[in-house]
Amino acid sequence: MKSNMTSPFSQNGVPTLAILGAGSRGGRYGEYVAEHPEVGKVVAVAEPREPQRTATARLHGIPEANVFADERDLLAQPRLADAVIIATTERRHEWAAVRAAELGYHILIEKPMASTVEECIRITNAARDNKVLLTVCHVLRYAPFYRKVKELLDEGRIGDLCAVQYLEGIAWWHYAHAFVRGNFANEARSSFLLLAKCCHDTDMLRWWVGKPCRRVASFGHLKHFRAENKPAQAADRCLDCVLADGDCPYSAKTFYFDRLRQGMWGWPLAVVVDEFTESALEAALRTGPYGKCVYACDNDVMDSQHVALEFDGNVSVSLTLSAFTPHGRRVRLMGSRGYLEGDGKILRWLDFLSGEEQTYDVNREVEDAAGGHGGGDSGLMRAFLAALQAGNADLIATGPEVSLESHLIAFAAERARREGRVVDLHEMGKGRWK
């Protein structure tokens, strides 16, 4: 037994799991387990929405006594499984994670860990004090593209890393779905955009640079998705709008009906309807949040933000997140002897001395890279379940302290944006969780 884990798990060596929140993410992790019965078994679920709860119970053959409508009821029981997957939205995370740790559950927790610094620290401390494994779903650490970058950096292929330019391109349609109309549009209901979307990226930067972040500055705005930008002819709902059939890039009518007709029934359509019929979609767009005009929602998170980061060793980084892009991340890493550039799939390397160039089609080289987050979702589950089975926390790349540090960078950057100043990471209470 290594690191901070307590005892091994189920009698037969296959770890058992309880899912808290069988929505998009909880459902995805559940599917992975169902497809790989040799590495895990879901034995309990808590989910308020009946269709998702029943579907999850059926998929895994969960006994009725272990099916709950609320995580509080599940966590009021004695421990039902070796581990919990906390896949509710982040405002619910702290109570559930602390309670689960006290009950002795090992924990896989969606990012962000929580929506305040204090909550993140309490979760980290609860895991440490109760000696349970806590893994944050920073899935990019398990995705082949990002691992390849790390491998080339560690091999010294670009010499000394001097600077990084990093774009998190959310995509106009993804942003409209999740951050204007959806779960993550309003900070009071979820968290600020940099934390919700980019704690992955601050994590990646910390990992690639390999040294602590020293200080940050940031500018950002909710520039476009505001009431004053609503065209005069636009209606409050896309189904009533004269612009919805070809004159608006954010038309919910076009976007969701196209997906329905093309049989693209996974995320994000599955967030909007439980039943994939035209009448169900029409009803959802008439009454639910996903049918609203993007200029008539209660969104308040940024649509563009820039962060300047200085790491130990004088590595300078710029991180940009934007709604107004195609989908995907773009990175450039600049070293003393070479250069790397990539888009999450293809990675290009240039050596300054020899002029040699190499292109890595990372997704082609790796079997499961087509999975969610460029193979990161399945990589994370593989690592988490292997760590549980072996009782070895070292198999996890995203333990609590490492992930907390990535979150603190995002909190610091947001403080820098709000207060219009440079924020030193020491201000963020680094060390309080040790």
Long-range contacts: 393-397, Cβ < 8 Å, 24+?
393/2, 393/3, 393/4, 393/5, 393/133, 394/2, 394/3, 396/133, 396/135, 397/138, 397/141, 397/142
Taking the least distance from each CB to ligand NAD, the nearer of 140 and 294 is 140
**Alpha carbon separation from 271 to 196, 245, 266, 399 (Å, rounded):** 17, 22, 8, 29
Per the CB < 8 A criterion, the answer to whether 189 and 91 are in contact is yes
Taking the least distance from each CB to ligand NAD, the nearer of 101 and 234 is 101
Taking the least distance from each CB to ligand NAD, the nearer of 86 and 209 is 86
Taking the least distance from each CB to ligand NAD, the nearer of 315 and 387 is 387
Degrees (nearest 5) of the Cα angle 399, 317, 125?
A: 25
How many Å separate Cα 353 from the centre of its chain? Answer: 38
Degrees (nearest 5) of the Cα angle 312, 317, 321?
A: 140
Q: Which stretch binds ligand NAD (CB under 6 A): 86-94, 159-167, 322-330, 425-433?
A: 86-94
CA distance 299 to 306: 19
CA distance 164 to 143: 19
Cα dihedral angle (369, 319, 250, 346), rounded to 10 degrees?
Answer: -30
Q: Residue 156 Cβ, how far from ligand NAD at the closest point, in Å?
A: 30
Q: Which stretch binds ligand NAD (CB under 6 A): 21-29, 127-135, 231-239, 251-259?
A: 21-29
Residue 89 interacting with ligand NAD (CB under 6 A) = yes
- List the one residue from 16, 52, 56, 251 that touches ligand NAD (CB under 6 A): 52
Taking the least distance from each CB to ligand NAD, the nearer of 111 and 259 is 111
Taking the least distance from each CB to ligand NAD, the nearer of 110 and 303 is 110
Q: Residue 347 Cβ, how far from ligand NAD at the closest point, in Å?
A: 20
Residue 88 interacting with ligand NAD (CB under 6 A) = yes
If one counts every other C-beta atom within 10 angstroms of the C-beta of residue 198, the result is 29
Residue nearest to ligand NAD (CB): 23
Which residues ranging from 192 to 251 are in contact with ligand NAD (CB under 6 A)?
196
Q: Residue 116 Cβ, how far from ligand NAD at the closest point, in Å?
A: 14
Each residue 298-337 as x (binds ligand NAD by CB under 6 A) or -, in order, gives: ----------------------------------------
Who's near 11: CB < 8 A, 6+ residues apart?
none
Residue 18 interacting with ligand NAD (CB under 6 A) = no
Instruction: Label residues 406-422 b or e (16+ Cβ within 10 Å = b).
Output: bbbbbbbbbbbbeeeee
How many Å separate Cα 346 from the centre of its chain? Answer: 21
CA distance 220 to 109: 28
CA distance 76 to 424: 41
Taking the least distance from each CB to ligand NAD, the nearer of 68 and 311 is 68
CA distance 18 to 20: 7
Residue 87 interacting with ligand NAD (CB under 6 A) = yes
Which residues ranging from 353 to 412 are in contact with ligand NAD (CB under 6 A)?
373
Residue 17 pairs in a beta bridge with: 42, 83
Determine the size of the site formed for ligand NAD (CB under 6 A). Answer: 26
Q: Residue 313 Cβ, how far from ligand NAD at the closest point, in Å?
A: 28
Residue 286 interacting with ligand NAD (CB under 6 A) = no
- List the one residue from 137, 204, 321, 387 that touches ligand NAD (CB under 6 A): 137
- List the one residue from 2, 49, 223, 418 that touches ligand NAD (CB under 6 A): 49
- List the one residue from 71, 119, 168, 203 that touches ligand NAD (CB under 6 A): 71
Residue 344 interacting with ligand NAD (CB under 6 A) = no
Which residues ranging from 110 to 129 are in contact with ligand NAD (CB under 6 A)?
110-111
Per the CB < 8 A criterion, the answer to whether 136 and 109 are in contact is yes
Residue 46 interacting with ligand NAD (CB under 6 A) = yes
Who's near 166: CB < 8 A, 6+ residues apart?
201, 204, 205, 317, 318, 319, 320, 329, 330, 331, 332
Provide the residue type at 279 as one letter.
S
Residue 100 interacting with ligand NAD (CB under 6 A) = no
Q: Which stretch binds ligand NAD (CB under 6 A): 36-44, 48-56, 214-222, 301-309?
A: 48-56
Q: What residues make contact with ligand NAD under the rule CB under 6 A?
A: 20-25, 46-49, 52, 70-71, 87-90, 92, 110-111, 137, 139, 183, 196, 271, 373
